[in-house]
Amino acid sequence: MNITGCKVCGSNRIVDIFTSVNAHGRHLISEKDRFVVSRCKSCGVVFLKDVKVNGSYYKKYYELGYYDQASVKKGSLLDKFLDYISKFSIQRKEKLIRDYTIVKKKRISILDVGCGSGNFLFNLDESRFDRFGTEINQEGFEISQKRGLHVFFGDLDKINFGKKKFDVASLWQVLEHVKEPKKLMGNINRILLPGGIVIFQVPNTDGLGFKIGKKDWFHLDSPRHLILYNPQSVSALCATTGFKIVRIVNEFYDYPLDLFWSMRNSSLRFIIYPLYPIFKLFSQEHLTYICKKV
């Protein structure tokens, strides 16, 4: 991805801020690969500069087993706790969708873009939702199919939905993986019904973890996270793709230990760790945006 201008606002006012390595969450994968992290001074978006996104990129950085990277023992107390958090989170997301769906219907048609292994769709109330998904990763697509979900394989702009339109599109920690966000959001606008909504969660570069942790930020995830957002850059993206932000939600219960790992090399951890629940509540490491098609 050779960026000469900002992928969100088109500005050339870009500054390099630091260099990152290949890391996934708290796990260091390789220090051999290094990536320049840059920021747009106009809209505030943060991105990796000069990353070539092609077949080799996906093969190297999205290895087989990407959707089965659990580091917690199955059946353990921690595993049960995280499973509870996951189900609680999906219930909260489902409520947000129902609250902001303009036309109150008995059934809501939803397209989960980049649905991965289908966990979100699978746990939605099937009596209220017509559930569809898209996925570009073969492994994730096959897992979703085995769960009985209606999932399309491939990029959104290459999928033929016919005359089908959706009430809702969702993207959970997906937009930061996308090299052409304006193109994707434009395609989502096209397949939504009038007054439809897109709901998505992305890491927040205005959060405490990025500001202090920088290259140690849990959600940096170089080089898989190509473009990272804050409310200013999301607002700019929506303005150019036919959406208006109607609500921003701090779903602090998702990724409960992300701030903990972001602080692991900072001297401020001695202040933050003893008061971790408070800092986690207000740090806004990631944000969920509900946007209406206008």
The predicted-structure confidence for 77-129, as pLDDT tens digits, reads as follows: 877 888 888 899 999 999 999 999 866 667 899 999 999 999 999 999 999 99
pLDDT digits (tens, 9 = 90+) for 49-70: 989 999 899 889 987 655 554 5
Whether the predicted pLDDT of 2 surpasses 50 = no
Number of continuous H segments (helices) and E segments (strands) in the chain? 10, 11
pLDDT score, position 78: 76
Q: Lowest-pLDDT range, 71-75, 235-239, 264-268, 280-284?
A: 71-75
Interval 136-164: pLDDT, tens: 989 999 999 999 999 999 999 999 999 99
Q: What is the pLDDT of residue 5?
A: 83
Average of per-residue pLDDT across 245-268:
97
Domains of the chain: 14-69+89-293 (3.40.50.150)
* pLDDT score for 148: 94
Close Cβ partners of 143 (under 8 Å, ≥ 6 residues apart): 67, 116, 117, 118
For residue 267, give every residue at least 6 positions away whose Cβ sits within 8 Å of its Cβ, in sequence order, or none: none
pTM over 0.85, yes/no: yes
